[in-house]
Structure 1
C-alpha cells in the first residue's frame, strides 16, 4: 500500500528486515476514554474527580501552546498528541521509518500504593483494547508495556503474571522514584515475576508526585532544568543499589532498561564502582564480580536524550569507551518536543555500532521478529 492508502490495510506478502526499533513512544487516552477501564471502587472514589490522560507537570519551550509536544502531533479532532493510533502509525512508522515501536504510557506514581496499582491496571486494559488488539494494531508494529506499580510489589507481580503471555506486551514498565531503592528485598516479587516470564523491565523517566519527586541530597531544585538533570543521578543510585544490594545475584537473568535517563554518565560510574570493588573485594557477598560486568550484562539505556557536545568526536569517544553498542537502544520520545528522528540519531552513532543500537539490541531484549510484512511507501532509514 502507498502512504496515501494506508487505511486500505492490504496485507503484503513481502517481508522486509527490521532495521529500526523505537523503544520509547508515548500513547495517551483520548478525552473521556480512560475512565471505563479503572476498577472500582477507585474509579468512583478517586479518578472520576480528577483529570486523566492529559496533564504534564513540567515546563518546555512554548509550553502554553504546545504542551511540551511536537506541534504537528496534535490530532485534527482536538485530542492530545499520542491519542490517535492511526496518526502515530503514520508519523512514527510510515514517515519516520521505525519498524517496531515500544509503547510506554505515562503512569504517574502515587503515595498510596492501591491508587498506583489501580491506575496501572486501567492503563494496561486501555492499552490492550485501544492499541494492541484488533483495529489499533492491524499492522502489527506496536508492542506494549505492562505498567506495574512498584510502590505495590505484590500487585505489580500480579499484573505481570496476568499480562506476561500477551503476544504484543514486550516489557514491564516501572518508575524509579519510590523509596527505598530497588535493591531492597521488598521489590523481589517484581523481579521474580519478570524473570519467571523472561521479560525485560524498563524504567522510564517519571513525573513523581508529592514526596516521590527525586529530591537531591541538597534539597529541591529551583528549576525544571536542574530537575531534569537530577534524573540521571536518580538512575545512577538505582544502578548502584541493584548491583551492591545483590539483585542480579538473586535474579541472574533480570534485564533493566533505563529510558530517558541519559547514558554517558554510566562510564565514570562503572570506573568508580570497579575501583571501590577492587579496593574492598570480599567485603560484600552480594557482589561477586566487577560492578561493570553486571552493568554490561543486565542494564541498558535509551539514546534519548542524546548528549550532544559541541565537539562531536567527544560523544564518539565516550560511546566507544563505554562500548555503547552493548548498552544502547534507539528511542525517539515521540510525540514530545524532545523527539529524536531516527535518521538524525544515525548521524551521531559510530557506524560500526549502528545495527546494534538501532535494531539488534531491541530485537534481542524484546524478542521481536527480525522481519515483517512490507508497508509500501514506508520510509526506510537504512
Structure 2
C-alpha cells in the first residue's frame, strides 16, 4: 500500500509504476523543527559558539507579513506549530501533489557566520540533518526530494572534504555555496572546490544569503539601509561572480563545471552578456580566455526563474527571454514555502512556448543529473 498525501503512512514503499518528470523545482527550503539541528553541530562549535551567541531579529528583512509569518506562506506552517516547511509530508502535499512539481531540489537556508569555521560547522550539521530527516527512506519514500551538500566556500579544503563525504549519496544533487565571502570565485584558492565538484560531476549552486554585518553583500558605496536595497544588491553580487568566473578563467580550467545562481534574478544577464562580449571583442588580445563571454554563460551557468521580474507590458519580458535564449539558461523554481512562491502552473504560462519544456524540466534533469521518471503518486496534479 502506498501513502496518500496528508495521511499517515503505514507502508512507505513507492509504487512500481513510474511517470515522466515534467517539472523540476530548483529552489525549495526545508527547515528543521525546534531543537532538531543542535545535536548535529560538531563540538566545540555547538557549545562555545551557537549556544552562547543569542542574537535578535534581522531588522533589514521587511517582507510583507513578516511579523506574522516570517515571510512564509501561512498555510505552510504544520498543525503542530513548527516552522514552515519543517514537515516533509505537508510539503509533499502542497508542492508535489497540489502544485505539480515532480522533483524538488532542497536548499536549507543556513547563513554566513562571522567565523568561517563556524559556517563550516553549521554546514556539517545541516548536511547530516537533511540526510536523516528529508532524504531518508521514511521521508523520501516517493523519491521526489533531492538534497544540497552545504559547504563553506571560505574554507576550501574543508568544503572539498565535505563534498567528498556526501557526493556518493543517491539523493544529493548539488553543492550549495554562498556568494558573499571574498575574494571572488575566480581566485585559485577555490579551485579545490571546483575540482571536487567536477570530479563527481555535481552541480555547484549559489543561493543568496542573509548573514551578519560584514558577511552581507557589500556594494562599493557601503551597506544598504533597507530590504529592497539588499534584494537588488544580490543581483549585482551575482553579476560580479559571473564576470570573475569567466574572465579569471575558471571555466577554462574546469571545462565541465556547472554553476547555478538561485534567487539572484536573471533579467540582468542579458545586458551583462552584451557588455562582456563588447569588451572582449575590443580587448581579446589581452584577455586570456578562449571564447566569447556569452558562450561561457550559455554553456556553464543557469539561473532560477524566481524572482521573476514582471513588467507591466508582458511582451517586454517575452522579448528579453527570447533574446537571452532562456531555454539555455533558466531553471524553474518556486521558492516554496516563501510568500513569493511561484506556482509552476502559473509560471509556465509566462514563458515562450518553445522554451517551456526546457525551463520547466529538461534543463533541471540535465543540470542535476536527475532521472527522467519518478514513482506515480495517485492524485498528483500535473503541470503538463
* TM-score normalised by the chain length of structure 1: 0.96
1:248–1:294 contact (8 Å) kept in structure 2 = yes
- Residue 356 of structure 1 corresponds to 358
Summarize the alignment of residues 279-358 of structure 1 with structure 2, pairs less than 5 Å apart: 279-285=282-288, 287-358=289-360
Among 54, 79, 83, the alignment partner of 2:82 is 79
Q: Which one is further off, 59-68 or 212-221?
A: 212-221
> What 5-or-longer segments of structure 1 have no aligned partner?
none
Among 244, 247, 255, the alignment partner of 1:244 is 247
Listed one character per residue, the Cα deviations across residues 99-145 of structure 1 (whole Å, up to 9, x for unaligned) are 00000001211221111110100000000000001211111110000
CA distance in structure 2 between the aligned counterparts of 1:88 and 1:341, rounded to whole angstroms: 14
1:15–1:373 contact (8 Å) kept in structure 2 = yes
Work out whether 1:263 is the aligned partner of 2:276: no
- Residue 42 of structure 1 corresponds to 45
Secondary structure at the aligned position of 1:201 is classed as strand
Q: CA deviation at 1:262?
A: 0.5
- Residue 380 of structure 1 corresponds to 382
- Residue 65 of structure 2 corresponds to 62
Count of paired positions: 380
Cα gap change, 1:168 to 1:51, in 2 (>3 Å): farther
CA distance in structure 2 between the aligned counterparts of 1:44 and 1:364, rounded to whole angstroms: 42
Work out whether 1:185 is the aligned partner of 2:182: no
- Residue 160 of structure 1 corresponds to 163
Secondary structure at the aligned position of 1:49 is classed as coil
Secondary structure at the aligned position of 1:239 is classed as helix
Work out whether 1:124 is the aligned partner of 2:131: no
CA distance in structure 1 between the aligned counterparts of 2:172 and 2:6, rounded to whole angstroms: 29
Listed one character per residue, the Cα deviations across residues 177-218 of structure 1 (whole Å, up to 9, x for unaligned) are 001111111111111110111100000011122212111112
- Residue 173 of structure 1 corresponds to 176
Secondary structure at the aligned position of 1:372 is classed as strand
CA distance in structure 1 between the aligned counterparts of 2:376 and 2:246, rounded to whole angstroms: 42
Q: CA deviation at 1:272?
A: 0.3
Q: CA deviation at 1:3?
A: 4.5
Secondary structure at the aligned position of 1:237 is classed as helix
CA distance in structure 1 between the aligned counterparts of 2:250 and 2:259, rounded to whole angstroms: 11
Q: Which one is further off, 4-13 or 330-339?
A: 4-13
Q: CA deviation at 1:4?
A: 5.7
* TM-score normalised by the chain length of structure 2: 0.96
CA distance in structure 1 between the aligned counterparts of 2:205 and 2:59, rounded to whole angstroms: 21
CA RMSD in angstroms, aligned pairs only: 1.6
Q: CA deviation at 1:7?
A: 3.0
Listed one character per residue, the Cα deviations across residues 140-196 of structure 1 (whole Å, up to 9, x for unaligned) are 110000001001111100000100011000000000000111111111111111011
CA distance in structure 2 between the aligned counterparts of 1:380 and 1:16, rounded to whole angstroms: 11
CA distance in structure 1 between the aligned counterparts of 2:380 and 2:58, rounded to whole angstroms: 32
Secondary structure at the aligned position of 2:176 is classed as strand
2:27–2:333 contact (8 Å) kept in structure 1 = yes
Work out whether 1:15 is the aligned partner of 2:18: yes
